[in-house]
Structure 1
Amino acid sequence: MEQQKPQVDPYSKYNAQSSMLSKIIFTSRWLQLPIYLGLIVVQGIYAYKFLKSLWHLIINVNTMDSETIMLAVLNLIDVVMIANLLVMVTLGGYEIFVSKLKTRNHPDQPEWMSHVNATVLKVKLSMSIISISSIHLLQTFVNAARIPEKTIMWELFLHFGFLVSAIALAYTDKILYSTSHKNH
């Protein structure tokens, strides 16, 4: 009886290389970890800046006029909004692109984390950027007498650009969402 030779799959070497390449690409997402850790450090910097500005407001409140107090408060709100943006990018980005956070059913888990995806994150980021830009515009208008007209104009154009971008993102997501639901 003649023994049959096992057949050699001509694609086995290709499949092994492809599998290894897939593993490398998949694992490369962890290269973002230092970036997200860096954003946590930046949050600490903003917390320090907030406390320093708050302390300055507290110890100087009796010597400040209403306009100066309002500008100080707007500055504090600006710092808070940027810190919120950092939290959204850090938590949402890590959860979407790196690995799942093990926070399910945790009593402190932010509500938005239960349904975070790239679309939700884009919308939240767009709204945060527009809100931060609005605070800057408000600060500019309070100081309008001391700011060149050209600077005010450019800030308005920039804010308008943020608005148009957010609308374009929302419209694109709407088209993609409706197209994907028609196909399923």
Structure 2
Amino acid sequence: MTPARLIEAVLYAGRWLIVPVYVAMLGLLGTLVWFFLVELWHSLPDIPGMTENGLIMLALTLIDLSLTANLVMLVILAGYENFVRRGDFGDDSRPGWLGKVDFAGLKLKLLGAITVIAAVDLLRSFLDIANQTDRDLLWQVVIVAVFGLLALLFALTDWIADLAHPPARE
């Protein structure tokens, strides 16, 4: 084996170094599920006496945790499939989107999810506007706008790149 081939083999095998990161992210996913369940459990006795605003705040909190959990799962599965190896999940249990999300698609989905999570948090702040400062609200609006603009710019650059290099027809 030539030195170049040896280096290439070591570099290629190095992709397995990221697997512990994905496994640790499963712990993060479990923590998010735990927070979701605890939030729901603590809120159940209060639901009959909740105001409409309180119920919407609870729903937004649970949606926020759910979206974040989905984001973590997306990163785990798509990252593993894109950077380590194709997962063998069985034909019936394999999500339809898995294998179709390349790096460009993953970054767009990440930016989209982060934008939606920030927007949900902004909506929650507007519903609790009495306890928010103008400065905090302004920064939340700026963050949502910047992430939305970044997602749009990434989508535009991917679209332009696809026009410049159309996929081969089968």
TM-score interval w.r.t. the shorter chain? Answer: over 0.9
Partner residue, 2:75: 89
Deviation at 1:104, TM superposition (A): 4.9
SS of alignment partner, residue 165 of structure 2: helix
Q: Which residue of 2 aligns with 1:67?
A: 53
Give unpaired runs (5+ residues) of structure 1. 1-14
State the alpha-carbon separation in 1 of the partners of residues 168 and 93 from structure 2: 38
User: Greater CA deviation, 155-164 or 116-125?
Assistant: 116-125
Which is worse superposed, 48-57 or 117-126?
A: 117-126
Say if 1:92 and 1:116, in contact at 8 Å, map to a contact too: yes
Pick from 162, 173, 183 the counterpart of residue 158 of structure 2: 173
Residue in structure 2 matched with residue 115 of structure 1 by the alignment: 100
Given the alignment, which residue of 122, 135, 155 partners 2:120?
135
1:40 aligns with 2:13: no
- Return 5+ residue gaps in structure 2 as ranges: none
TM-aligned CA deviation for residue 127 of structure 1: 1.5
Contact residue 81 and residue 99 of structure 2 kept, 8 A: no
Is the contact between residue 32 and residue 69 of structure 2 (CA under 8 Å) also seen in structure 1? yes
RMSD (Å) for aligned C-alpha atoms: 1.7
Match of 2:40 in 1: 54
How many residues get paired? 169
Structure 2 CA distance, aligned partners of 1:182 and 1:136?
A: 38
Are residues 1:125 and 2:125 paired?
Answer: no
Higher alpha-carbon Rg = 1
Q: How far is 1:62 from its partner?
A: 2.7
Identity rate, percent: 27
Per-residue deviation, residues 68-117 of structure 1 (Å, max 9, x unmatched): 22111110000000000011000000000011101251x22222114221
Seen in structure 2, the aligned counterparts of structure 1 residues 46 and 146 have a Cα distance that, compared at 3 Å, is: same
TM-score normalized by the length of structure 1: 0.86
Contact 1:57 1:69 in 2 (8 A): no
> Aligned partner of 2:33: which letter?
A
In structure 1, how many angstroms separate the alpha carbons of the residues matched to 2:75 and 2:9? 26
Moved over 6 A (4+): none
Cα distance, 1:119 vs structure 2: 2.0
Partner SS state of residue 111, structure 1 = coil
Which residue of the other structure, out of 123, 130, 135, is the alignment partner of 1:145?
Answer: 130
Distance 1:115 1:73, change over 3 A: same
TM-score, length of structure 2 as denominator length: 0.93
1:183 is displaced (CA, Å) by 9.4
